[in-house]
Amino acid sequence: AQSVTQPDIHITVSEGASLELRCNYSYGATPYLFWYVQSPGQGLQLLLKYFSGDTLVQGIKGFEAEFKRSQSSFNLRKPSVHWSDAAEYFCAVVTPSGNTPLVFGKGTRLSVIA
Amino acid sequence: DVKVTQSSRYLVKRTGEKVFLECVQDMDHENMFWYRQDPGLGLRLIYFSYDVKMKEKGDIPEGYSVSREKKERFSLILESASTNQTSMYLCASSSDPHTRADTQYFGPGTRLTVL
């Protein structure tokens, strides 16, 4: 069964600094990959997804993620963080066959300081 | 825009009560899901449904049941609420009828407290 690991429980960055959130998955083939964001008190919103093709994926709010097959990773990046990016971020994976639903990581909480 | 609504944002119930959490989506999606979210544990799938009157168990179905009588509505039922069911409950839906490997759209969540 597929699984996903987000190694960082909590990250703090300064406003304007760059950001990278890590995601590693365990699956025999290339899964479908997602990043979601959850602002305080809200549901989850899709930031971006990777199904196939270009391994660098652009998303909303200035985020991007890069799929690296050799490292089984799908790390989320943003060149300059804004205070409004403070939220919890979830990576999710699913098998392309679609027989089972998404599996979510435990999340990384991002704090942004002035 | 896809809209997923949940009947309550906050709910307080007593131990032993029967609790209904309602979820409605307005985009004619085939698949609907119920998760619970707890600090440090992320999202855990309780039940999902890929068609009316169909349901499948997720990772943690014990103590829960679901109902899907209409395509747009998916209800989560706590038959006899217990304090360990205090949590945030999130509903989601997705559109592809042939696969569950599709973008999920989430509601705002219901924070349930069982006293």
- pLDDT tens track for B7-56: 999 999 999 999 999 999 998 998 999 999 998 898 999 999 988 888 99
**Three-state SS at A101:** coil
Find chain A residues with C-beta within 8 A of B21's C-beta: none
Contact: A100, B109; criterion CB under 8 Å: no
Contact: A107, B102; criterion CB under 8 Å: no
pLDDT of B97 strictly over 80: no
pLDDT of A94 strictly over 90: no
Contact: A98, B43; criterion CB under 8 Å: no
Decide: A114 and A50 in contact? Cβ < 8 Å.
Answer: no
pLDDT, mean over chain B: 92
Find chain B residues with C-beta within 8 A of A10's C-beta: none
- Name the residue of chain B whose CA is nearest to A106's CA: B42
C-alpha distances (whole Å) from A69 to each of A22, A28, A79 are: 14, 11, 23
Among A4, A38, A51, A102, pick the best mutation site for testing chain B contact (most B Cβ within 10 A).
A102
Lookup: tokens for B70: 């209409």
Find chain A residues with C-beta within 8 A of B35's C-beta: 104
- pLDDT tens track for A11-69: 999 999 999 999 999 887 788 999 999 998 888 999 999 988 899 999 999 999 999 99
DSSP class of A52: S
- pLDDT tens track for B65-93: 999 999 999 999 999 999 999 999 999 99
Distance from CA of A71 to the nearest CA of B (A): 22
Residue A93 has a CB neighbour count (10 Å cut-off) of 25
Cβ-based interface (< 8 Å): residues of A facing B: 9, 32, 34, 36, 41-46, 49, 90, 94-102, 104-107
Query: What are the φ and ψ backbone dihedral angles of A15, each rounded to 5 degrees?
Result: -60, 135
**Three-state SS at A96:** coil
What confidence tier does B100 reach under pLDDT thresholds 50, 70, 90?
low
- Name the residue of chain A whose CA is nearest to B97's CA: A98
Residue B88 has a CB neighbour count (10 Å cut-off) of 17
Decide: B104 and B3 in contact? Cβ < 8 Å.
Answer: no
Find chain A residues with C-beta within 8 A of B108's C-beta: 41-43
Lookup: tokens for B10: 């906050």
| CA pair distance A7, A11, nearest whole angstrom | 11
Contact: A95, B101; criterion CB under 8 Å: yes
Query: A95: which residues sit within 8 A by CB, 6+ positions away?
Result: A2, A27, A29, A31, A32, B101
Contact: A98, B102; criterion CB under 8 Å: yes
Element (H, E) at A3: strand A3-5
